[in-house]
Every structure is written in C-alpha cells, then in structure tokens.
Amino acid sequence: MKKILTLILFSFYALSYGQENDNRIYFEVDQIATYQGGYQNFNKYITDNITCKIKIKKKEKNRIQLRFIVEKNGEVKHVEILSEKPFVCSEEIGQALKKCPYWKPARKNNLPVRSIVQMDVNFDK
C-alpha cells in the first residue's frame, strides 16, 4: 500500500513539474535571437516600412536604438525606442516592429526562450 501511495504521489509531482510555464525573460542565452536574413535585412525592413520622413541635422547620428522582447515563438513585443530626445517616427517604428516577420527566438539549454534584444537601426541611405 505504501508503494502504491508513493507511486501516486510521485506521479502527481511529475505532472505538476512538467507543467511549469517558464515566462522569464533571459539576458544570458546560449544562442541569441536573430532576424531572418540578419541585421541588414532587419534594418532594411524597418527603413522600408516607415513612411514618415526623417530629417536629422548633419552633425547628428542618423540612427535610433531599439529594445524589445522576442517571444518563444519569435513574435516581437514590448517595443521601446531608446533615444535621448523625442524621435518623430517612434510610434510608426513601433508599429512596424510589431508587424515584422517572426524572429528565430533565443535558445537556452536547446529550448526557445523569451529574450531582450537591443540594437541600432541606421537610417543612412
């Protein structure tokens, strides 16, 4: 009877352990999240999919820094524009990012995980 009870309790433990939902955002991963075709294709996607005109003085850098989360399924969420001053096209860039093709998610221990991506987008043509 003790063996059966132990087996039943162990089964419940195994089931509850197997249902753990890991929604943590990883900063250290084995393989970083990547865009299909790499950075150049991502930069091209963003610059091709915004319609507002970017007017930046010659002395200023013609780029912005983005931070967002790539979900386990490759979807982009929680987009932030990291600029020292307000950027004219911030909202439009955020919308373009949310509609972009899915990324290849980051991996940790050979499993897809949520991760933060921070990168520059260059608007020099």
Parse the chain into domains and list their residue ranges. Answer: 23-122
pTM of this prediction exceeds 0.75: no
What confidence score (pLDDT) does residue 110 get? 94
What confidence score (pLDDT) does residue 19 get? 45
What confidence score (pLDDT) does residue 6 get? 54
List, for residues 58-95, the tens digit of each pLDDT value: 555 667 788 999 999 999 998 888 876 556 677 788 78
Helix (H), strand (E) at residue 122: strand 111-122
What confidence score (pLDDT) does residue 45 get? 87
d(CA 27, CA 31): 11
Q: How far is CA 25 from CA 1, 59, 102, 123, in A?
A: 44, 37, 17, 29
